[in-house]
Amino acid sequence: MAGAAATGLDPDLDGFTGVMSVRRGDEILGEWAVGLADRTWSVPNTVDTRFGLASGAKTFTALTVLALVGDGELSLQTPARLILGEDLPLIADDVTVDHLLTHTSGIGDYLDEEIDAFAPMTAPVQRLDSTPAYLAVLDGFPTKFPAGERFSYCNGGYVVLALIAERVSGSPFAELVAQRVFGPAGMTASSFPRSDILPPSTATGYKADGRTNVFELPVLGSGDGGAHSTVADLHRFWLALMDGRIVPAELVALATERVTSDTGDGLGYGRGIWLDGDELLLSGGDHGVTASSRHHPLTRTTTTGLANIEVPTFARVKSLMAAARSAQR
């Protein structure tokens, strides 16, 4: 295990393989790197290792879309149908950008977590090498409920947002996120890499049976997942967001507005950001990936856990934040 904890913070690292971090403003209060980033070559995880974020990428998608709203290229009330044209005809006419952002669209989902969060892809993952390529897996799912009726977490809705963003901006989605989020936040170690051309110092994701996740995930992520980052970059992200360097304050307020007060597990949801009391969260999990980053804006404190195995991480990051806030009192 590598790392330091000058404040006496003691995260739960039992069975954990990855990095845990506590940062406040410009200070590193503690960071712990555990286990191997690559088992074949016995490469250890370090505090600078890049990890997949799975659905944590949805936060970046939402802010990219909100940046386009701020530029007047979209509005929250823009009908998805207006941008999609003849594609995905089962998406209802009244579904708006805001319905997609808030998981209230009711559209059928290609990866419906209310049914099976780990269902296999319905197309060979190597074919999913661009956002338009996802049209093949998004199509054919009937509406679940009328738009605006309730919250229902929807992976496909965030890929639709990526499609919309690409079409109105004229830029590939990964480049657009780099321009709108990663660049302004100074997130130099963050990107949407292809799984067959991973950047240096990237952790390989491992399934419970010891195999890698290379055959389980799209070769290139899109609006619902696939970004990679580091604990340092995620702290930079939260500070940049709250300082108005990614989108202006009025759009930050929209992102963090509690649109759904309780999604069923005690958490609220805004637009791409989970809400737990006065803390903001991005979170994700998939084959060989678990990621959770939690930020307390008032104290500018971030706790993050990134793992390259399927291990409970959310509760550990929440406990670490509680300890960090308690130690400050």
Q: Which helix (H) or strand (E) holds 173?
A: helix 173-177
Active-site residue, from 55, 229, 283, 293: 55
d(CA 9, CA 284): 24
SS3 call for 322: helix
In the beta sheet, which residues pair with residue 295? Answer: 280, 302
What residue type is 138 in one-letter code?
Answer: L
**Complete edge-to-edge strand list for the sheet that includes strand 2-4:** 2-4, 27-34, 18-24, 301-307, 289-296, 279-286, 274-276, 268-269
d(CA 143, CA 92): 7
Q: Is 261 part of the annotated catalytic residue set?
A: no
d(CA 63, CA 51): 20
- Backbone phi, then psi, for 187, in 5-degree steps? -90, 75
d(CA 260, CA 262): 6
- List, by residue number, the catalytic residues: 55
